[in-house]
């Protein structure tokens, strides 16, 4: 019980710090990959505090409420996950959080956020099957949906779930808003949608979106960690190293791919889910 409380408190406090640092490292590495010097590692924090200092302007108050709910439920998602609770509950809370973000974008009634919101819906359609397959895979392997049970399973699940791991990596690009699939937010310098989903968010509201993104990234890396955890220190170290490598890999992908159209995102992620994910599930089922 004490362990769970420590885990949860560590998540609530450290996730934004580590998430922000990772975002900073991401920006530095991206810059180096492009032959630039790049900003400070702490740049995402400067951005965050600057946004808090800006004048609050908002299209309608309900939008800020939805964004606050988005942040709240992203935090709750991670809370459930790091408290070792049910994986399905975690996934449904994550979907609820994403829904709040989409409603917030729709509520502004402005053209660009609406297009961004529609694309975000398509992205959700693209990644949800694979996320569910991941949860089912963990259940088939360890006999429980509980994160705590999966972590304390003495055998590392990765060797038996390579297909699911690869599929999860694929949709991680969508979830982390990296380049081939950063359709809805134009996270980097792509601007054909102005800023997509977050066009109408500014100041504190945008800061909330940023911090939610950091929380979400840490939670997603927690998911990656789950593949390697086997209750021992060695498993934990391997898990953390793989999380960092995964993050680097996503940055690499981000810098090496042009953005693709939504149908490519949808088709390819469903194809990956059906082939890699389902075959792995069938193998696990008969094992």
What are the residue ranges of helices labelled H in the chain? 2-33, 43-53, 61-82, 87-107, 111-142, 147-151, 162-175, 203-226, 233-256, 262-272, 278-286
Distance in Å, CB of 117 to other proteins, minimum: 16
Q: Which of 8, 18, 21, 38 binds other proteins (CB under 8 A)?
A: 38
With contacts defined by CB under 8 A, name the span among 45-53, 82-90, 95-103, 256-264 that binds other proteins: 45-53
Q: Which of 21, 68, 122, 194 binds other proteins (CB under 8 A)?
A: 194
Give the single-character DSSP code of 86. Answer: B
Q: Are 46 and 30 in contact (CB under 8 A)?
A: no
Q: Which of 31, 83, 103, 283 binds other proteins (CB under 8 A)?
A: 31
Contacts of other proteins in 152-191 (CB under 8 A): 186, 189, 191
Distance in Å, CB of 181 to other proteins, minimum: 20
Contacts of other proteins in 56-115 (CB under 8 A): 56-57
Query: Which residue from 279, 271, 259 is spatially nearest to 196, judged by alpha carbons?
Result: 259
Distance in Å, CB of 59 to other proteins, minimum: 9
- Rounded Cα gap, residues 29 and 112, in angstroms: 30
Q: How many residues bind other proteins (CB under 8 A)?
A: 31
Judged by beta carbon, residue 27 or residue 175, the one nearer other proteins is 27
Whole-number Cα distances in Å, 248 to 23, 178, 241, 245: 11, 12, 11, 5
- Rounded Cα gap, residues 48 and 274, in angstroms: 39
Distance in Å, CB of 39 to other proteins, minimum: 5
Judged by beta carbon, residue 36 or residue 155, the one nearer other proteins is 36
Residue 223: how many CB atoms within 10 A of its CB? Answer: 23
With contacts defined by CB under 8 A, name the span among 63-71, 93-101, 192-200, 216-224 that binds other proteins: 192-200
Distance in Å, CB of 100 to other proteins, minimum: 20
Q: Are 223 and 130 in contact (CB under 8 A)?
A: no
Q: Is 199 in the site for other proteins (CB under 8 A)?
A: yes
Q: Is 3 in the site for other proteins (CB under 8 A)?
A: no
Give the single-character DSSP code of 56. Answer: P
Handedness of CA 78, 227, 280, 262 (dihedral sign): positive
H or E element: which one contains 174?
helix 162-175
Using CB under 8 A as the criterion, which residues of the chain lie in contact with other proteins when the complex forms?
Answer: 27, 31, 34-40, 43, 46-47, 49-50, 52-57, 186, 189, 191, 194-195, 199-203, 206
């Amino acid at each position: 019980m004490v362990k769970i409380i420590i885990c949860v408190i560590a998540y609530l406090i450290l996730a934004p710090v580590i998430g922000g640092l990772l975002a900073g490292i991401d920006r530095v590495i991206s810059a180096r990959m492009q032959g630039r010097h790049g900003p400070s590692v702490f740049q995402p924090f400067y951005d965050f505090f600057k946004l808090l200092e800006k004048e609050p302007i908002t299209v309608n108050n309900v939008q800020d409420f939805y964004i606050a709910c988005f942040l709240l439920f992203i935090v709750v998602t991670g809370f459930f996950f790091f408290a070792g609770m049910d994986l399905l509950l975690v996934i449904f809370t994550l979907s609820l959080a994403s829904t709040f973000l989409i409603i917030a974008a729709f509520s502004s009634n402005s053209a660009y956020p609406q297009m961004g919101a529609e694309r975000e819906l398509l992205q959700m359609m693209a990644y949800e099957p694979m996320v569910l397959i991941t949860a089912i895979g963990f259940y088939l392997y360890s006999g429980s949906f509980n994160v705590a049970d999966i972590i304390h399973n003495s055998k590392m699940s990765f060797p038996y779930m390579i297909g699911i791991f690869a599929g999860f990596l694929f949709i991680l690009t969508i979830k982390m808003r990296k380049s081939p699939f950063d359709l809805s937010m134009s996270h980097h310098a792509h601007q054909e949608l102005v800023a997509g989903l977050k066009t109408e968010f500014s100041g504190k509201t945008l800061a909330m979106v940023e911090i939610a993104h950091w929380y979400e990234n840490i939670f997603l890396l927690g998911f990656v960690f789950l593949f390697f955890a086997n209750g021992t220190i060695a498993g934990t170290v391997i898990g953390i190293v793989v999380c960092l490598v995964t993050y680097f890999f996503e940055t690499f992908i981000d810098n090496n791919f042009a953005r693709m159209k939504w149908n490519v995102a949808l088709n390819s992620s469903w194809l990956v889910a059906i082939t890699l994910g389902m075959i792995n599930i069938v193998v696990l089922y008969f094992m």
